[in-house]
Structure 1
Amino acid sequence: MGSVQDGPRLIVATPDELKAGTYDSGNIQAALEALHQDGFAVLKGVVDVAHVEHLNEYMSKEADELVKNNSKPFNQGVNWAAVERPCLPVQRRVLQLLRNSGHERVGPGDVVSYLGYKPIHNFITGNNALPHTAGLRQPVHKDIVFYHPQCPFYVIANIPLCDFSKTNGATEFWLGSHAHTTGQEQVLATPDSTLTNAKLRVGEPTCNVLDDVIEQRRAIRPPIQPICQKGDIMLRDLRTWHAGMPNESDQYRIMLALGYQAQWYPNHTLRSKLPLSQGNFFMKHAGQPVEVRADLLPDDSDFGKLNDIFSFRQTSQ
């Protein structure tokens, strides 16, 4: 069962649940309570650690090249968190993290329960907190630059590729901040406002939450940095406030992000960009009850650049 506490709620599968590949009603309820009340839950030990270590090794080597060539954007304008996209040898394994043998429906199952029937998987990215970045952090923000719905419409599944601690930059989350938050509580864009990987509209929200709103929330429920292990998945309602934190270690702290959209939400254009050679894997093995929306492109396409262009905004706006 999930542990009810001021920190993140932990959903621990029983041996029978792991064998069956699904949670029972008690853990489903615990996960849904966590998402509805906190906007956040940690699914413990649902990913094959060998997969995680393989991804971390590959993406760490890629990160060396990205940092050396300064070829990727920094997230939120803070020069410590490079944005990575899992590339060709990695892409084909990402969905296996949610479908590892014996755990096929453990991860997506809770997304389904929270968002409704057959959520849409249409977004994938990676985030890397660079080593030796003591003192650098992101502002408190939401990954939303528009006036969003006041109900669950999008969930991010964050997959840590190493053990997360305060020392190596475990992400800061503001539990419960999603429940009543609106765009009015964010800094509004001016003609001079800019943001990496987002098109801002004057008078609409930027990502950042207003300072006075942050302090009001701090007095109610201060932020936390969840300690997670390889094999865990963090589920986050897109509305939940968060911030990248300093990595004081000498190793990369890499985290994958898989996005799931509710079927009713009218964004009809957001699609992952995936290599054509891996199309059968993603489409055949995505699995019910999840719909995959992706553009399958030639293998020599610049997937890093193409996947940097995305928007969670309603396409009808």
Structure 2
Amino acid sequence: MKLTKEEKAAGLLLPERLNKAVQTFNDVGYVVIENVYDAAFLDTVRTAYETELARFIQSKGGLAALEGKTFGKNHIGFFPPLHLPLAHTQLVAQPVAVQLMQALLGEDIQCAFFHTNTALPGSGIQPVHRDTGHLMGVAHPVATLVLNIPLCDFTIANGATEVWPGTHPILGGVLDDERAAAFPSVRTEIPVGSFILRDMRMWHRGMPNDSDNPRTMYAIVYERGFIRTPVITVPRTTWESWSDTAQHIFRHNQVVEDTEHTPRVWGA
């Protein structure tokens, strides 16, 4: 679905288009909205992000030292610092994304997981997996979703994620490539400026990046208000730059002085 000029100017989907987007999400487990972000803004974000990613890789001893410790060969799961522009309010609380998330999760949504996924050139293929299971072991409406914001065009060549539409309500059994082969899948080829909302129970996997450039996306997780995720810290400068909506969504986290902010790490 592509934002119309009127919707982009208003910062909201029209009611009938919102209903269509919600129905699509509920039916297949994800929805794509195009023409949301300006390319110049994302260029600025990508430049800042690549600096932080290089610093992270260097701090771990280089890419070779991360082999076997990442999300697959040359797939980097990274918690960037919540400094500007990396945590701009348009990324953490973009109005159309919030409109959709509130329609899916309720108005009391929350966030405590600010993450990115980068497939570097030469990355391998991930096993088919889901990011979370069902609450209490039963199928239910979406409780947790992830907002993916690509920082470049997603293509087959650079490793556009493979997803299995309609798998989000499936219960039980071992999830592996053999089981997934019985279901149809698609690749999320989308232009930069888009976002994807995905039910975290949907089957998916990262694919090889055969291009010469990194393929990066944000992976920010939003939940219904009753779920409790370990809190993160938010730098005060970032917090004060955020809209009221962004502050509400991150309300359970801890605001600290900029120098005291430490990004979350895996295992903590």
- Quickly name the TM-score band, shorter chain normalised: 0.7 to 0.9
Query: Quick check: 1:308 aligned with 2:251?
Result: no
Task: Give the superposition deviation at 1:91.
Answer: 6.0
Change (3 A) 1:14 1:146: closer
Q: How does 1:52-201 map to 2 (within 5 A)?
A: 52-70=42-60, 74-76=69-71, 78-90=72-84, 93-97=87-91, 105-133=95-123, 136-144=124-132, 150-151=139-140, 152-179=142-169, 181-182=170-171, 184-186=172-174
- Output one character per residue of 1:199-239: Cα deviation in whole Å (capped at 9) or x when no partner: xxxxxxxxxx23443233x2xxx211111111100000111
- Output one character per residue of 1:149-191: Cα deviation in whole Å (capped at 9) or x when no partner: 5221011110001111011111111111102x22x224xxxxx
C-alpha contact (below 8 Å) 1:122/1:259 kept by paired residues: yes
Query: Quick check: 1:279 aligned with 2:239?
Result: yes
SS at the partner of 1:303?
Answer: coil
Name the TM-score, length of structure 2 as normaliser: 0.86
CA distance in 2, matches of 1:109, 1:83: 27
C-alpha contact (below 8 Å) 1:153/1:261 kept by paired residues: yes
Give me the identity figure in percent: 25
Task: Give the superposition deviation at 1:75.
Answer: 3.6
Name the TM-score, length of structure 1 as normaliser: 0.74
CA distance in 1, matches of 2:85, 2:252: 14
- Output one character per residue of 1:121-156: Cα deviation in whole Å (capped at 9) or x when no partner: 2211011111123xx111000112675552210111
Q: Which moved more, 1:27-36 or 1:58-67?
A: 58-67
CA distance in 1, matches of 2:199, 2:134: 16
Q: How many residues align?
A: 261
- Considering only aligned residues, what root-mean-square deviation do their CA atoms show, in Å? 2.5
Gapped regions of structure 1 (runs ≥ 5):
1-10, 187-208, 311-317
2:40 to 8, 27, 50: 50
Query: Quick check: 1:14 aligned with 2:4?
Result: yes
CA distance in 2, matches of 1:59, 1:105: 22
C-alpha contact (below 8 Å) 1:124/1:257 kept by paired residues: yes
Change (3 A) 1:301 1:93: same
Gapped regions of structure 2 (runs ≥ 5):
none
SS at the partner of 1:144?
Answer: coil
Task: Give the superposition deviation at 1:283.
Answer: 6.7
